[in-house]
Amino acid sequence: MTRALLVVDTQKSFLQRETWQASSNPDVADDVGLLVAHARGRGDRVVWVLHTEPGTGNAFDPAVGFVELLDGLKPQEGEPVLHKTVHSAFGGTDLQRILNGWGVSEVAVCGIRTEQCCETTTRAASDLGYDVTFVVDATATEPIQAPGSQPGRTLAQILADPLTLGTEDVVTRTVYALSGRFARIATVAEVVGVD
């Protein structure tokens, strides 16, 4: 098949952050699971990508134990699991070589976080010549503090700050930035053909 689903950073690391309580899509694993089942059913390829920050001691450090897929998500035999240390799934991984080896020309992107690793992966895929579908409701993000905000604030303080960018605004901005430039924007229902 010429299509692949890229599942980006749907990992337990994010659950360790207080800001995940304000996630745009706390059930993102369910939405990703629907896309994975659909891709497998069509005979498309599935690639799993996990973000790592070795040696940091934070939730993205593999030694801490949270760099694993969210419950309900599991690769099948033959589905690569790649580890990255930058925002793009193509950066420092074999992703492009794998996709080209399979003859893939179309990719769909889902995962965490909408505007960060998912968007960056989408832009990189487009620049590399892939036809990209960004499955917006199979992504998730968290509120973004204004530049220069005091570090270490609680979630309540972040949400109370009128300069904080809420998740709805983050998702909308990402859709505007990607649509027609880097990707086709779609919903899970549109991809799997469910009304």
Catalytic residue among 117, 138, 170, 178: 117
CB environment 32-54: b (16+ within 10 A), e (fewer): bbbbbebbeeeebbbbbbbbbee
Catalytic, 117? Answer yes
List phi, psi (to 5°) of 38: -65, -45
Does residue 119 contact residue 177 with C-beta atoms inside 8 Å? yes
- Would you list the DSSP string of 91-137? TTSSHHHHHHHHT--EEEEEEE-IIIIIHHHHHHHHHTT-EEEEEEE
Give the orientation angle of helix 167-178 with respect to helix 119-127, to 10 degrees: 0
Positions annotated as catalytic residues are: 117
